[in-house]
Amino acid sequence: MNAQQDFSNLIPDVILDAVESLDFWTDARIYPLNSYENRVYQVGIEDSAPLIAKFYRPHRWQRAQIQEEHDTLLALAESGFPLAAPLQINGHTLFQHQGWHFCLTPRLVGQHPEAENLDQLFQIGELIGKLHQALSHQSFQQRPSVSPLEQINQAATDIINSGHMPTKLQSPYQASITKLLSLCEKQMQSFWPHALRPIHGDSHRSNLLMVNNEFHLLDFDDCQNGVAIQDLWLHLTDLSQSRQQLSELIEGYESYAAFDVRELALIDVFKATRIICYAAWLSNRWQDPAFVKAFPWFTSEEYWLNHLNELKACQTEWGQLSL
């Protein structure tokens, strides 16, 4: 793919031509879905249900990494796991059109989980446990492996070098990063799994859909070798309710897979990593006009002050997320 290619070149005619190159006759209706890292569209199909067309961000993943994701999804779907798997056409799931890697999936219609609904948290725990159990006898060979200290260091370096953070805030920011790195390293020295496992990697509420009274997992774009708690802790909404929420998630999880409660001490590590890496993600994608439009507050001093407060809260709340 051309190193200069960006999503501004992904015009409606290209999207429709890509879908029709796989022998689907579109009705020319395109509806963009909420995705910033890639571009995802609902595309109308003549005399049939719409399809979802996903166009991958150039240079983010190698073809082999995307294919391993697809192969995993096909195997899970074959086993009956509820998810949105890519369509297999003439033995292939990953296609190219005018330099774009893309895939098609069926459209799923449903509702996202309700925040703080304990019954649904139990069901989410079941779903994640079922996923981890299904993947327990393999590991990803092409996908990345989680590495919190490396990720924090790289993200912080990217932020400082980007020029987006006001100069006067860089010193307190670096001090917070140093403190959080120390806390993370200490915790990981106390406990870190002997082996990582395949996980979804980004199983927040927006990537879950209730379809016909059953939760389905969407968007495995961040699947990786990681730690079980990574797929659970994102559903904690409030520190004061974390004990009850964790109890429901883990009880559901253990319907299918054993859970090592020592992993609960790693929630703080993954929370800090996610907050820091999210800011770096916005910074690294700032040349994409969609980010400027969707996150206009990112370069404001207020945003960075709030970010520093988030990092301080991580330190203050360290060790309080447990059963």
Co-location of 45 and 166 in the same domain: no
pLDDT of residue 238: 86
Assigned domain for 1 exists: no
Strands (E), 222-302: 224-226
Co-location of 93 and 210 in the same domain: no
Assigned domain for 2 exists: no
pLDDT of residue 5: 56
Co-location of 28 and 139 in the same domain: no
Assigned domain for 158 exists: yes
Co-location of 124 and 259 in the same domain: yes
- Cα–Cα dist 158/166, whole Å: 14
Count Cβ neighbours within 10 Å for each residue of 68-104 and write b for 16 or more, e otherwise: bbbebbeebeeeebbbbbbbeeeeebbbebeebbbbb
Assigned domain for 264 exists: yes
pLDDT of residue 4: 43
Co-location of 78 and 208 in the same domain: no
Co-location of 92 and 161 in the same domain: no
Q: What is the number of domains present in the chain?
A: 2
Assigned domain for 243 exists: yes
Closest among 87, 38, 33 to 61, alpha carbons compared:
38
49: Cα within 13 Å, side-chain hemisphere:
8
Co-location of 257 and 281 in the same domain: yes
Closest among 106, 85, 102, 76 to 198, alpha carbons compared:
76
- Cα–Cα dist 141/225, whole Å: 9
DSSP state of 101: E
Closest among 133, 34, 31, 42 to 80, alpha carbons compared:
133
Assigned domain for 135 exists: yes
Question: Where does residue 281 rank: exposed (0-12), middle (13-18), buried (19+ CB within 10 A)?
Answer: middle
Assigned domain for 239 exists: yes
pLDDT of residue 3: 40
pLDDT of residue 1: 40
- Tens of pLDDT along the chain (323 residues)? 444 458 989 999 999 999 999 999 999 999 999 999 999 999 999 999 999 999 999 999 999 999 999 999 999 999 999 999 999 999 999 999 999 999 999 999 999 999 989 999 999 999 999 999 999 988 999 999 999 999 999 999 999 999 999 999 999 999 999 999 999 999 999 999 999 999 999 999 999 999 999 999 999 999 999 999 999 999 999 888 999 999 999 999 999 999 999 999 999 999 999 999 999 999 999 999 999 999 999 999 999 999 999 999 999 999 988 76
Co-location of 188 and 82 in the same domain: no
Catalytic residues: 202, 219
Q: Maximum Cα–Cα distance for the chain, whole Å?
A: 60
pLDDT of residue 323: 66
Q: Are 148 and 188 in contact (CB under 8 A)?
A: yes
pLDDT of residue 6: 82
- Cα–Cα dist 51/29, whole Å: 11
Question: Which of residues 86, 106, 126 is at a domain's end?
Answer: 106
Closest among 226, 54, 55 to 143, alpha carbons compared:
226
User: CA 312 from chain center: how many Å?
Assistant: 24
pLDDT of residue 50: 98
Co-location of 294 and 257 in the same domain: yes
User: CA 1 from chain center: how many Å?
Assistant: 24
249: Cα within 13 Å, side-chain hemisphere:
25
Co-location of 227 and 139 in the same domain: yes
C-alpha dist (Å) from residue 43 to 28, 29, 221: 7, 6, 20
Single pTM value for the model: 0.94
- Cα–Cα dist 182/101, whole Å: 40
Question: Which of residues 53, 77, 106 is at a domain's end?
Answer: 106
Assigned domain for 300 exists: yes
Co-location of 284 and 156 in the same domain: yes
CATH code assigned at 57:
3.30.200.70
- Output the six-digit token pair for 14: 């290209």
Co-location of 176 and 287 in the same domain: yes
Range(s) of the domain holding residue 229: 118-316
